[in-house]
Amino acid sequence: MRIAMISEHASPLATGDDATGGEQRRHVADLSAALTELGHDVRVYTRRDSPDLPEVAALSDGVRVVHVPAGPPRQIPPDLLLSYMGDFAQWLGAHWRDGDWIPTVVHAHFWTSGLAAVTAARQVGIPVVQSFHELGSGENDRQGPSRAGYERALGRAVDRVVVQSQDEVRGLVRIGVPRTQLTLVPVGVDSDRFTPDGPVADRDPERPRILSVGRLVERKGFGDVIQAMRYVPGAECVVVGGPPADQLATDPQARKLRAMAEQFKVADRVRLVGGVPAKDMPRWYRSADLLVAAPWQDQFQLAPLEAMACGVPVIGTAVGGLTETVVDGLTGDLVPARDPRALGGSLRRLVNDKVRRFAYATAALDRARQAYSWKRVASQLGSVYSTVAGLRRSSTPEPAA
């Protein structure tokens, strides 16, 4: 099949950290590569955010990235891109209608990509599959109810919505997307890159290391992790994510977390690393005795899966996709969200129990490889694409003789 990926703000060519769509970027890149390995022809359409970018660039795995001229050629925050999606859609429609490469199916990533994809695909009769990655209906959503309204309409307009957890299913049904529109396909993890063997980031071998990864936003629960460190004497907490290290001093969230560490007298055991290149992440996972993921609401987190693929057990809050990724008592432990005392107790028990850590690590590695391989995920999505393409063809009337 010819598969068009629409990822307007998260280019697989980009090198930015997760604050600029890093998790979505890696998802699109790895999925596209896996689909190409299965024999599909994949092109990724992303917004041109620099005047120096070529119209088409090739990834090393054969995937082509097409830079769409929509809005000024500079970086713009994702939540300010809506006004440029009309231009994006108009360019896509003309490109597919007049060009020599017409997709069999379009897979849009994020809600604004979906709006452009549906508008363009309708002009040429191409089915659309939608992945939201995260929903904007949460209490902290800056875009308010308008984004939820767009997501509801989009979920009803596309041919299929691919969800990544049962929590996402519930969220979409709650805002009015029919359950019959939804197909569950979990996220994937690159088990060739994320492995237990390989270089390890520097660490003190005498001090247990607890790692936490993600954007420095309040709902990710880093404040709860810092408070929990009071109950884990002797261990260190390393936080990877956010702006680069040289910008942490002026980052409001980083300053808030450092002040909190001072307040709870754990500043000497909490280290903020900042954002690091994606290629370096396996080194950081391998350096950890365990990963902690303590979000209040879970929205598209790759870190627990990547850690598991490196043979690292996970302690997570019992929210969203974490309840499916982490098997409580087998690959890690689940605790209530926003409960630093419970989190600290769980961290302390696992840090002090090497035998249980080894058992969890072994089971985590096996689960990551068996249930979340990109080959398996790409095969499942290929079946979704074939189904919607077949339904679209069967519903199109034959031309009159």
- Confirm whether 2-188+374-395 and 209-371 share one CATH topology: yes
Region 364-381: mean pLDDT is 96
Distance CA 320, CA 296 (A): 9
Task: Write down the domain spans for the chain.
Answer: 2-188+374-395, 209-371
Report, at the CATH architecture level, how domain 209-371 is classified. Answer: 3-Layer(aba) Sandwich (3.40)
Question: For position 139, what pLDDT does the model report?
Answer: 45
Residue 123: pLDDT band with limits 50, 70, 90: very high
pLDDT in tens, 199-233: 999 999 999 999 999 989 999 999 999 999 999 99
Q: Is 0.85 topped by the overall pTM? A: yes
Question: pLDDT for 61-99, tens place per residue?
Answer: 789 999 999 999 999 988 899 999 999 999 999 999 999
Question: Mean pLDDT, to the nearest integer, of 167-175?
Answer: 93
Rg (the chain; Cα; Å): 22
Confidence of residue 397 (pLDDT cuts 50, 70, 90): low
Q: Are 153 and 115 in contact (CB under 8 A)?
A: no
Question: Which H helix or E strand runs over 91?
Answer: helix 85-98
pLDDT grade, residue 18 (50/70/90)? very low
Residue 56 forms beta bridges with which residues?
A: 66
Q: At residue 48, what is the residue type?
A: R
Among the listed residues 94, 92, 115, 77, the one whose alpha carbon sits nearest the alpha carbon of residue 45: 92
**What interhelical angle do 111-124 and 145-157 show, nearest 10?**
40
Number of CB atoms found within 10 A of residue 147's CB: 18
DSSP bridge partners of 43: 4, 64
For Cα atoms 382, 385, 389, give the angle at the middle one, nearest 5 degrees: 140
Measured at the CA of 296, the angle between CA 246 and CA 111, to 5 degrees, comes to 80
pLDDT attached to residue 15: 64
Residue type, 376: R
Which CATH number is associated with domain 2-188+374-395?
Answer: 3.40.50.2000
Match 């929903």 to its residue by tokens: 135
